């Protein structure tokens, strides 16, 4: 008769699970990306977008935030990775942890930064709010719009979003700022214009 050994289930802490295994090809892949190899970058995105998405969505859910902002955060993470000739990606040290674990940490940090910036947009992204968009468009169509009440940066953001019809992420890339900063500036500019014209 076979004996059955019962093992006690280990306690798993409440933290975002992140794969810890390191593939031998990770260093080579990253090296190719740092050289500007487009095929290597496409492979990197294909292989690690799931890790990044999982970490972002888990972090938002863990903090009780809406997952609707996940795509913005994910896009921003990839932008950060390639910005300034892959400066952030170059920070990965294979001797200190796997690429997947490092990306999970970067992704969780980015999601937390997003929440700290302005929690309002976790639940209602400004570019997705049709009523505010319509109101802002109507304001911009007025011939005597009090643009003097806006700062240079606020005018630049409005020019990108409405004059050039860019998304928040596209505007952020052009202005070299975080997409959440674009939304925050957009929101403040809207309030200033509304207050100046109707109060």
Which of 24-33, 144-153, 174-183: highest mean pLDDT?
24-33
Please give the domain boundaries of the chain with CATH numbers for all domains: 26-123 (1.10.1740.10), 126-198 (1.10.10.10)
The Cα 157–Cα 55 span in angstroms is 30
The DSSP symbol for 13 reads P
Whole-model pTM: value is 0.51
pLDDT score at 24: 63
What is the per-residue pLDDT across 42-79, written as a single tens digit (0 to 9) for each?
A: 999 999 999 999 999 988 887 777 777 788 888 888 88
Residue with the larger pLDDT of the pair 17 and 190: 190
Q: Is the pLDDT of residue 100 over 50?
A: yes
Q: Is the pLDDT of residue 116 over 60?
A: yes
The DSSP symbol for 167 reads -
The Cα 81–Cα 53 span in angstroms is 14
How is residue 131 written in tokens?
A: 């009523």
The Cα 135–Cα 167 span in angstroms is 17
Q: Which one, of 100, 116, 117, lies nearest residue 53 by Cα? A: 100
What is the per-residue pLDDT across 118-172, written as a single tens digit (0 to 9) for each?
A: 544 443 444 444 444 555 555 555 445 567 788 888 888 888 887 787 888 888 8
The Cα 199–Cα 196 span in angstroms is 6
CA 51, 54, 58, 60: dihedral to nearest 10 degrees?
100
């Amino acid at each position: 008769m076979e004996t059955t050994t019962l093992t006690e289930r280990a306690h798993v802490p409440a933290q975002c699970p992140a794969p810890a295994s390191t593939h031998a090809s990770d260093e080579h892949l990253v090296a190719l990306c740092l050289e500007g190899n487009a095929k290597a970058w496409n492979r990197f995105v294909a292989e690690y977008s799931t890790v990044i998405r999982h970490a972002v969505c888990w972090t938002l859910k863990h903090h009780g935030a809406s997952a609707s902002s996940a795509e913005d955060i994910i896009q921003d993470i990839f932008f950060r990775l390639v910005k300034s000739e892959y400066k952030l990606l170059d920070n990965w040290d294979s001797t200190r942890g796997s690429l997947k674990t490092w990306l999970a940490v970067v992704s969780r940090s980015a999601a937390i930064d997003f929440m700290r910036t302005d929690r309002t947009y976790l639940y209602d992204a400004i570019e997705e709010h049709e009523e505010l968009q319509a109101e802002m468009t109507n304001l911009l169509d007025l011939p005597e719009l009090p643009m003097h009440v806006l700062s240079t940066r606020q005018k630049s953001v409005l020019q990108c979003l409405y004059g050039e019809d860019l998304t928040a992420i596209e505007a952020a890339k052009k202005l070299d700022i975080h997409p959440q900063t674009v939304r925050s500036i957009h929101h403040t500019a809207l309030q200033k214009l509304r207050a100046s014209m109707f109060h």
